[in-house]
Amino acid sequence: MKKLGLFLLKNNIHLMTFIFIAWAVWAGFNWAELVLVQKLVLGLYAWLIIHEYEEGYKNRFLDLMLGRVMGIDHRTLTPGIAHLAQALYITITFSLAIVFPNQLWMCFSLIVLCIFEGFVHNWGIFMFRLKGVSPGWWTAIGMATYAIWTIVKINQTVEYNGILWLWGLLYFFVCFIMMEVVFQSLIGSSPSRMKNAFKTFIKQRFGKNS
């Protein structure tokens, strides 16, 4: 059982992909019965799955976030542990949005996430002084663009109360913070350590001798 658990942990990105594929197959067989929001959420889901693979390519994203910012060598961690919180967050929030399409704020939180990713990856180029794009940049931009198009489609076809955007934003922040707390715990860190590491990194980045 321990070996199976370690295998699943190491391959959690593939497991979350398998769950997405299962949802996609289900959607394919029931496409005519799906409402617009479910179809749009599946599109966002697909973009984010691909994005996770681009970020994880050769561990470049971990090298930036854990290595440069926090001084943690991801190679010393249990394989897969640094991606477990993200895998659970993505799988749970997207699955709930598909199951409960009438709760439009759930979809809105995912739209916010996808646009946020586009912003973060552009910010990362500047912050880390990268010569090229940040790991995951291409899919982040594609995902953010699709998310904006999703907003347009929803506004054209669905009547809703604008307050739902506020609930979606709050839902996004709560889930994202929970994910970060779990992530820091899994890698043997803490939110306070992450906060201090970012402060130090920002100070060095904008210091007089930078």
Structure confidence by residue, pLDDT tens digits, 29-53 = 999 999 999 999 999 999 999 999 9
Q: Is 2 part of any domain? A: no
- CA 5 to chain centroid, in Å, comes to 23
Phi-psi domain of 79 (left: phi exceeds 0; alpha: psi -120 through 50; beta: other): beta
User: Could you report the per-residue pLDDT of 142-174, keeping only the tens digit for each?
Assistant: 999 999 999 999 999 999 999 999 999 999 999
Q: What is the pLDDT of residue 86?
A: 95
What is the structure's pLDDT at 210?
Answer: 55
Per the structure, the count of domains in the chain is: 1
pLDDT computed for residue 25 by the predictor: 98
pLDDT at 83 over 80: yes
pLDDT band at 76 (very low <50, low <70, confident <90, very high): confident
Residue 208 has pLDDT above 70, yes or no: no
Residue 124 lies in a domain: yes
Check residues 85 and 210 and name the one with the higher pLDDT. 85
The tokens of 159 are what?
A: 């009547």
Rounded to an integer, what distance in angstroms lies between the CA atom of residue 190 and that of residue 180? 9
Q: What secondary structure, in 3-state letters, does the chain show?
A: CHHHHHHHHHCHHHHHHHHHHHHHHHHHHCHHHCCHHHHHHHHHHHHHHHHHHHHHHHHHHHHHHHHHHCCCCHHHCCCCHHHHHHHHHHHHHHHHHHHCCCCHHHHHHHHHHHHHHHHHHHHHHHHCCCCCCCCCHHHHHHHHHHHHHHHHHHHHHCCCCCHHHHHHHHHHHHHHHHHHHHHHHHCCCCHHHHHHHHHHHHHHHHCCCC
Does any domain span residue 172? Answer: yes
* All residues at 6 or more sequence positions from 63 whose CB lies less than 8 Å from its CB, including other chains: 74
Which residues are CB-neighbours of 48 under 8 A, at least 6 positions away? 90, 94, 113, 114, 117, 143
Q: Is residue 138 part of a domain?
A: yes
> Which residue shows structure tokens 């860190």?
189
Judged against a pLDDT cut of 80, whether residue 84 lies above it is answered with yes
Question: Quick one: pLDDT band at residue 21, thresholds 50, 70, 90?
Answer: very high
- 210 within domain boundaries: no
Q: What is the pTM of this model?
A: 0.92
pLDDT-derived band of residue 209, with 50, 70 and 90 as boundaries?
low
- State the residue for tokens 């599109």: 43
Does residue 4 sit within a domain?
A: no
In a domain, 190, yes or no: yes
Structural domain contains residue 12: no
Instruction: Express each pLDDT in 185-207 by its tens digit.
Output: 998 888 888 888 888 888 877 77
Question: Which has more pLDDT, 94 or 124?
Answer: 94
Domain of residue 46, residue span: 17-24+36-204
pLDDT given at position 62: 78
pLDDT tens track for 97-130: 999 999 999 999 999 999 999 999 998 888 888 8
Q: What is the pLDDT of residue 4?
A: 82
| % of the chain exceeding 70 in pLDDT | 99
